Amino acid sequence: MKEGINQNEERVSGSFVLTPAAGKKLIGMAVAELPEVKHAFEKGRLAIANGTTTGCVVEALTGKPLQKFDYCVGVIAEGLFAENPASDHTLMMWEKGKGVRLPFSEFLTEFRKFERDDVFIKGANAVDPYGYAGGLQTNPNGGSWAEAIGIITARGLHCIVPVGLEKMIPSVIEASKKLGQLRLAYSLGSPPGLIPLTSFKVVTEVQALEKLSGVQATAVAGGGIGGCEGARAFVVEGTEEQVKKAFQFVKQVHDEPPVQLGGKIETKPHRLPVGL
């Protein structure tokens, strides 16, 4: 029995579909409500790395809209592993409620000051049934994950990875063994590696629904057409009040539009077999 549900209360259930954009929005709202995030935002240090899902966290915390494409660095778009060259490559950080945008080099200096109750939030490109997430890296030095992961794991800092179930794969560990910029002979777009993230708090739509409303959430179907490609269907179970609350949040995000390309993307030259 899920904590918070009185066994004498009648359980009800309901179903709905979330597009990837709606899922990102819901996840952002839930991450902003996590106790460790609220504490770091108000009284400690909180850093939110670039990305569209992390952009939704920024929106939920500040109550202000964000141009999420502009907040991207690496992207998958137009069927390619790519980068957003127009991004200013700054990320948001708050110290005791005061927010600033820092270039990554300056952020690293500040990140080295992070202490036990401070929080780092960064999205991912993969998540698996074991609860592991994975981050693609087209930077030959491993990018921001490679820079941050040592400090996070050495100190035991809070690290939260918001990632939608549209990115579900069978195994992050196996995927990390297959990818690699020098391992791949051929690639459409910038060849990536994958960093497995196995010890951080992963928040998908399932955890988001449970956090926001107290329901038990189960993913039950996926896919669609006409803008629902990558969508996921869910069943939520709980008391009448909990399920009603879940649907209230779902209605808030249900019509969230997908992130549009706000500029030209760039990739490294394609690696193609001879004759193609």
For the chain, the maximum distance between any two Cα atoms, rounded to a whole number of angstroms, is 69
Closest residue by Cα to residue 6 from 244, 238, 212, 248: 238
Domain boundaries, the chain: 24-204
Residue 1: pLDDT over 80: no
**Average pLDDT value over all residues in the chain:** 93
Report the pLDDT value the prediction gives residue 222, as an integer from 0 to 100. 97
Choose the CATH number for 24-204 among 3.40.30, 1.10.3470, 3.40.50, 3.30.360.
3.40.50
188 — pLDDT class (breaks 50, 70, 90) = very high
% of the chain exceeding 90 in pLDDT: 85
Six-digit token pair at 47? 């850093």
Q: Which spans in the chain are helix H? A: 20-32, 35-43, 52-62, 104-111, 143-155, 172-178, 205-213, 240-253
Q: What is the mean pLDDT of residues 194-201?
A: 95
Residue-wise pLDDT tens digits, 93-120: 999 999 999 988 898 889 999 999 999 9
